[in-house]
Amino acid sequence: MSYSVILCVILSLFSTGVMSYVSMATPIGPWIAPTVALLALILFKFSRYRSSHNTSIALVTAGASVGGIVATALGFSFPAIYFSDPHTFAQWTASPFTFSCLVACLVLAGGGLGLLCAQMLEAPLLDRQKLPFPIGEMVYKLIQASDSVGKAYQLIFGALLTCAMYAAQIITYRGAPLIARSYALTSTVSVGAWALPALLFDVSPFVWAIGFVTGHLIALPLAVGALSKIIIIDPLSKLAFTELSYSEFILAFCSGMIVVSTVLGFSKPIRRLYYLMRTRKVPSFDGNKMMRILTSHTIGPEHVLILSAILVLFSYFQMAWYVQIYTIVLTVVMTYQLLLIAGRIGLAPLGRFATFVMIPALFLFKLDTVQLIIIATFVELCGGVAADILFGQRLARLSGISSDRVRMFQWIGLCISAFAAGIFLYVLVTNFQLGSSVLCVQKAYARHLMLAATTFNYAVLGCGMIFGLILTYVNINPALVLGGILMPLPLSLGLIVGALIAWICPDYERYIPFWSGVFAISSLWMILSALCF
C-alpha cells in the first residue's frame, strides 16, 4: 500500500505537469489515464511489489489521473485572465507563493465539489443507469491485456527517442545543431490581396504526437482554419477593412465565430426541452429522491475542507452571496449533464458547460471579467474532476476494488495536483509568452474573445458570425477551426501531419502508447527547459 501511495504521488505530479503544458500549447486535452497506467505497470514490474499488481496499478491510475484533468481545466480557462486583465495577472505572478496558493484554493474548491458530485451520483449513474464510462473500461482492458508490457515498453521507447531528438537540437556540430528546429518549405508568395506565407516545418515531436492521438478530431477543422485564413480572412481584411489594424480585424472576426458557437450551444438544450414539453416527456422533479441522495452521505472533514475552500475562493473575489449560490447550484446541474455525456461516449465538453454558467452570470450580475473567468474555471474543474472520478470508479468496479479504497487515492491525486498545478502554471507562464507559438492558449484566448465581443467592430463581428454559421451548416466545429486561424501556421501544420500519420497508419491504435510517450516527455522537457535554461 505504501509503495502504491508513493507512486500515486509521483504520477500525480507527472500527469499535472504534462497536461499543464499540453492544455496551454494545444486546443486539445487528451485523457492522461492510459499513459499513467502504462507507466505504473513498468514501475510495478521492476519493483518487489508484484503481488496483485494489477489492482495496485488500477488504484494508482485512478488517483494520479485526477492531476491531468485538473491541469486541463486550468489551462483551458485560467490564462484568459492574462488577456482580459493583464494588471491583475501580473500582480499574481509577481509572487510565486500567492499565485500557487490562489490556484490551489481554486482547485480544491472546484475539484473538491466535483469529487463530492461524483460521490453522490456514483450509484445512480454506475449502478442504476449502468453508464459504461468508456475511459475506465479502456484502461481496465489495457491493464489486463496480454501485451500490456509491450505497450509500456513502446511508451518508454517513444520517450527515449524524443529525448534524443531534443538533445540533437541542442548539440551543435561546426556551429549548427545536429537537427534544426525548423526547415523552410516555401518562401512567401503574393498575388494581389492573396498571400501564401512562408511555410516552416517545425521538427516538433510534441505536436506530431498530439495530432496522432487526437487526429480524428482536429485534422479537418485545423486545415479548414489555416486555409480559410489564407484564402478568405486575410484578403477580406486587406480589401474591405483597411481602416482596422490586422489584429483588430482578426480578433473581431474570431469573436463573431465564438458568438455563433455559443448561441448555437445554448439553443440545443432549449430545443430539446421544448421537444420534451411538447411530447409531455419532461421528467418530474422528485424532491424526496434528491434529498435522499444528498442526505445519504455523512458529513466528514473532507466536506468541511471543500466548503471552506469554496467560501475562501468566492470571498477573495468579492462575489455576493447570491452569486455564490447561483454558481454552486448551476455548477452541480451542469456537472450532472456533463457526466451523462462522459458516461456514454467518454468525452467531457468542459468549455461548453462552463459557458452555460458564465454567460447568464454576465447578464444577471455585475461581475468583472476576472470573476467571470474564475466562475468558468470553477465549473470546468468541477465537471472535469467529477468525470475523471467516475472513470476511476468504473475502473475500480471492473477490477474488484471497493469504492472507498479507490476514493482515498483519488483524494490524494486531487490534493497533490492542487498544490502542484500552481507551481507548474507559474513556471510556464513566467518563462514562456502566453499567446506565443510555445503557449498559444487557444481555449483561454477564445474565452477572452467571448467576453470582449461587444467591444469589437460589428461589421467584422457579423462576418465572423456568418462564417461560423457556414461551418456549423457543413458540420465542422467552429471552435476547432478557430485554432487553425489563431495558432501559428507551423503549429497547425505539425498537428495536421500527426493526424495524417494516424490516418494512413493501419491499426493506428497499436501505436498510441508510443506517441503518448512522445507528448508526455515533450511536456516535461519544456518544463525542465524553463527551469534550467
Q: Does residue 285 sit within a domain? A: yes
78-96 per-position pLDDT tens digit: 999 999 999 999 999 999 9
DSSP H or E run through 177: strand 176-177
Question: Is the pLDDT higher at 489 or at 417?
Answer: 417
- Phi, psi (5° rounding) for residue 171? -70, 130
Q: Is the pLDDT of residue 326 over 70?
A: yes
Q: What is the pLDDT of residues 267-318, one digit of tens each?
A: 666 666 555 556 655 444 445 555 555 555 556 677 788 888 888 899 899 9
Q: In whole angstroms, give the CA distance from residue 73 to residue 384.
A: 7
The secondary structure of residue 200, as a DSSP letter, is: E
Convert the pLDDT of each residue in 367-418 to its tens digit: 999 999 999 999 999 999 999 999 999 999 998 888 889 999 999 999 999 9
Contact yes or no for 440/487 (Cβ under 8 A): yes
Domain-located, residue 424: yes
Cβ-proximal residues to 235 (8 Å cutoff; 6+ apart), any chain: 193, 194
Q: How would you class 228 by CB atoms within 10 Å of its CB: exposed for 0-12, middle for 13-18, buried for 19 or more? A: middle
The vertex-410 CA angle with 407 and 413, nearest 5°, equals 160
Q: Is 76:121 a contact under the CB 8 Å cutoff? A: no
Averaged pLDDT for residues 174-197: 76
pLDDT top residue among 382 and 213? 382
- 399 found inside a domain: yes
Q: Specify the pLDDT at position 374.
A: 95
Is 161 domain-assigned?
yes
Residues 6+ apart with CB under 8 A from 49: 3, 4, 56
pLDDT of residue 282: 47
Position 217 in a domain: no
Provide φ and ψ at 191, rounded to 5°.
Answer: -135, 95
pLDDT of residue 422: 94
Grid coordinates of 103: 490556484
For the chain, the domain total comes to 1
State the alpha helices, DSSP H only, in 26-52: 33-45
pLDDT of residue 93: 93
The arithmetic mean of pLDDT across residues 148-171, rounded, is 87
What one-letter code names the amino acid at 196?
Answer: L
**CB proximity list for 401: less than 8 A, separation 6 or greater:** 55, 58, 59
Q: What is the pLDDT of residue 78?
A: 95
Considering Cα of 372, then 85, then 103, then 79, what sign does the dihedral take? positive
The answer as to whether 430 is a domain residue is yes
> Alpha-carbon distance 307 to 492, whole Å?
42
Closest-CA residue to 265 (of 173, 129, 357): 357
Q: How far apart are CA 308 and CA 313, in angstroms?
A: 8
Domain assignment of residue 197, yes or no? no
What is the distance between the alpha carbons of residues 181 and 531, in angstroms, rounded to a whole number? 20
Instruction: Examine residue 225 and state whether it is found in any structural domain, yes or no.
Output: no
Long-range CB contacts for residues 180-187, cutoff 8 Å, separation at least 24? 182/490
At 285 the pLDDT is 44
- Residue 55 near residue 400 (C-beta atoms within 8 A): yes
Over residues 149-171, mean pLDDT = 87
pLDDT of residue 284: 46
Low-confidence winner among 2-6, 126-130, 218-222, 227-231 (lowest mean pLDDT): 218-222
Which of 42-46, 180-184, 308-312, 382-386 is predicted most confidently?
382-386
pLDDT of res. 215: 67
Decide: 401 and 58 in contact? Cβ < 8 Å: yes
Distance CA 448, CA 57 (A): 40
Confidence of residue 177 (pLDDT cuts 50, 70, 90): confident
Look at residue 464 and tell me whether its pLDDT is greater than 60: yes
Instruction: Give the global pTM.
Output: 0.86
Residues of the domain holding 106: 2-168+246-532
Residue 344 predicted with pLDDT over 90: no
* Alpha-carbon 363 to chain mean position: 26
Residues 340 and 347: their CA atoms lie apart, in Å, by 10
DSSP state of 437: S
d(C-alpha 253, C-alpha 408), whole Å: 47
At residue 210 the predicted structure's pLDDT band, cuts being 50, 70 and 90, is confident
Percent of the chain with pLDDT over 90: 29
CA distance 172 to 76: 36
Place of cell 475539484: 111
Range 342-359 average pLDDT: 86
336 φψ region: left (φ > 0), alpha (ψ -120 to 50), beta (else): alpha
- Choose between 104 and 352: higher pLDDT: 104
Per-residue pLDDT tens digits for 426-456: 999 998 888 887 888 888 988 888 888 777 7
Strands 176-177 and 182-186: unpaired
